[in-house]
Structure 1
Amino acid sequence: MLKKHDYTCAIEWTGNRGQGTRAYRGYDRTWDVKTPGKAVIHCSNDPLLGGDPALPNPEDLLLASVSACHMLWYLHLASDGGIVVHSYSDEPLGHGESEPTGAGRFIGVKLRPKIHVEAGADLDKADAIHHRIHEVCYIARSVNFPIMVEAVYVRI
């Protein structure tokens, strides 16, 4: 029997300058993400589409979700496998494409984690963990584009 999970949030458009969507350039592409009991995330559209570059956009949030889910599973599987991780950071790169119509999509993500492991760690074993993550990561199993991993390890 599969366990079902429900997630909820509220999205509220905050970009009405007083005239609604009367004119295409007359409103802001901003909104808030509200999740019960959590901090509000102020967001905007991609700057290429008129958004505020100082705020996260949907593409940023998707990329961060892919990276964070991978990291959390990596830490879990490393702990189970006897790989002691002291720090983990990532600077993921999302690859997208846009059609002349404006329709776009992600065509791939490259995760580039830098992982500090305990001196003496088996780096082949540490690296093999990444390949198991796509079998269990909620986000990776939900997207329809490839996720590549180019990890760098530092023994400390």
Structure 2
Amino acid sequence: MKHHTKIVWKKNTSENFTSGKYSRVHKWYFDEGTEIRASSSPKVIPVPMSDPSAVDPEEALLAALSSCHMLFFLSIVSSKKYTIESYEDTVEGIMQKNDNGKISMSEITLNPKTKFSSTNIPSVKEITDMHQLAHSQCYIANSLNSKINIFPN
């Protein structure tokens, strides 16, 4: 199963590329035309060469992991005949040097908050178990070397 995306960056005509002072703003294109403005993180490359209003690769990595985890979690909840009304996750990633001295997203923490319908609510242990199963099945989590913590509410 192959997946594709397209990334496009173009130098602004007035920029001196070799000075390193060029815009990092670019576009990501997905599937049937979804377009997202992206940039380097202003925590890595300062403004104005980065755009803090655009999505940066670090944020995209966190969103991809959280989204993948959520989709597996929802599938598991559904298969167990529970009804979930809402799911919200505030994700945090820590970048630091890894064992090879390279900067990496070394630790990611998912903080999913779920609201189940009031008629059939799983226990805290069942919710934790479903999150662990979702984590073990998540394609993105299985692709990362980062430590991933999950703190369901």
Instruction: Please say whether Structure 1 and Structure 2 have the same fold, judged by a TM-score greater than 0.5.
Output: yes
Unaligned runs of 5+ in 1: none
Q: Distance in 2 between matches of 1:17 and 1:98?
A: 36
- TM-score of the superposition, structure 2-length normalised? 0.86
Query: How many residue pairs end up in the alignment?
Result: 145
Q: How does 1:6-155 map to 2 (within 5 A)?
A: 6-19=2-15, 21-25=17-21, 27-48=22-43, 49-50=45-46, 51-98=50-97, 103-119=102-118, 120-123=120-123, 124-152=125-153
User: Any conservation in 2 of the 1:15–1:30 contact (CA below 8 Å)?
Assistant: no
CA distance in 1, matches of 2:107, 2:37: 26
Cα drift, residue 34 of structure 1: 1.2
Q: Distance in 2 between matches of 1:44 and 1:130?
A: 32
Give the secondary-structure state (helix, strand or coil) at the position aligned to 1:47. Answer: coil
CA, structure 1 residues 134+13, in 2 after alignment: closer, same or farther (shift >3 Å)?
Answer: same
Per the alignment, do residues 60 and 15 of structure 1 end up closer, same or farther by CA in structure 2, a change over 3 Å counting? farther
SS in 2 for 1:110: strand
SS at match of 1:37: coil
Q: Is the 8 A contact 2:37 2:55 kept in 1?
A: yes
Separation (CA, whole Å) in 1 of partners of 2:150 and 2:4:
30
**Scaled by the length of structure 1, what TM-score is found?**
0.85
Q: Is the Cα contact below 8 Å between 2:25 and 2:38 reproduced in 1?
A: yes
Structure 1 residue 9: Cα displacement: 1.3
Segments ≥4 residues shifted beyond 2 Å: 14-20
CA-to-aligned-CA distance 1:92-119 (integer Å, 9 cap, x gap): 11111158xx952101111001100122
Q: Percent identity?
A: 27
Decide whether aligned partners of structure 1 residues 105 and 84 sit closer, same or farther in structure 2, where only a CA change above 3 A counts.
same
2:34 aligns to what SS in structure 1? Answer: coil
**How far apart are 1:15 and its partner, in Å?**
4.4
Measure, in 2, the Cα distance between the counterparts of 1:125 and 1:11: 41
